[in-house]
Structure 1
Amino acid sequence: MTISKFNSEGYYDPTAYEALTAVEKSEAAINAYRPLVYICSPFSGDVDTNIKAARRYSRFAVDRGCIPVTPHLLFPQFLNDRIPTERKLGLFFGNVLMSKCSEVWVFGSNISNGMAAEIKRAEWKKYPIRYFTKNLEEV
């Protein structure tokens, strides 16, 4: 979009020009590159609370300019975590997605078995890992 410094009547209008330029820059920033980050947080146990927390963590990543990859919000929609073969399949799918991410973000101090496996894999693959409290403070 080309923004003119002149209004429709041909008069110089710097205020409108600056405002429209700011809007254009804001729109461009929204469409800028956003890295994928893998969200690692508990799922099993208090599933409803953990899902709400994972949604909050995902939003936190979006607000920091990232695209969250949160497998435990997706795969339980069609895989049953209580069936060992399906749980194993979900963890495998998560590993594949993790390999596409720039960083792994671990949330909370309660590390579940699934999280421990994800962290171990991230460390083994030397993926950058960042740790956050459940209150979204980096540690």
Structure 2
Amino acid sequence: MQRVFICSPYRAATKEDLARNIAYAKELTANAISEGSAPFTPHLYLPQVISDACATMRKTGINVGLRFLETCTEIYVGARYGITAGMREEIRHAKRCGLTVRYFDAGNI
């Protein structure tokens, strides 16, 4: 089973958009599982223990994700709702680490 990092938007201006982003992350995670991969989706669990509203804690959360990203072979980029600054950082890091980058729903970029 290869490790796959799930990269998709989390932050949102409204509760509805946040719920949409979480549902999308779950969809991408389920897709990776159905393909036989072992996905890691940090934004589905880290906000439960690290406050996204605090810049220092948010940066810590991103760094935690980047360290795990280094152990993966692929990154799935969920682009249906655009590419955020945090996602761009994850994609750049994945490319520096030589990971395969797969885009989903890229028509909205």
TM-score range, shorter chain: 0.7 to 0.9
Q: Does 1:41 align with 2:8?
A: yes
2:4 partner SS:
strand
**1:112 is matched with which residue: 56, 64, 84?**
84
> What's the Cα RMSD here?
1.5
How do 1:1-139 and structure 2 match up within 5 A? 34-45=1-12, 46-109=17-80, 110-133=82-105
Aligned pair count reads 102
Gaps of 5+ in 2: none
Gaps of 5+ in 1: 1-33
TM-score (norm 1): 0.70
- Aligned mates of 1:77, 1:134 — CA distance in 2: 28
- Aligned mates of 2:90, 2:61 — CA distance in 1: 12
What's the offset of the Cα at 1:122?
Answer: 1.1
Say which structure is richer in strand: 2
TM-score (norm 2): 0.88
What's the offset of the Cα at 1:134?
Answer: 7.1
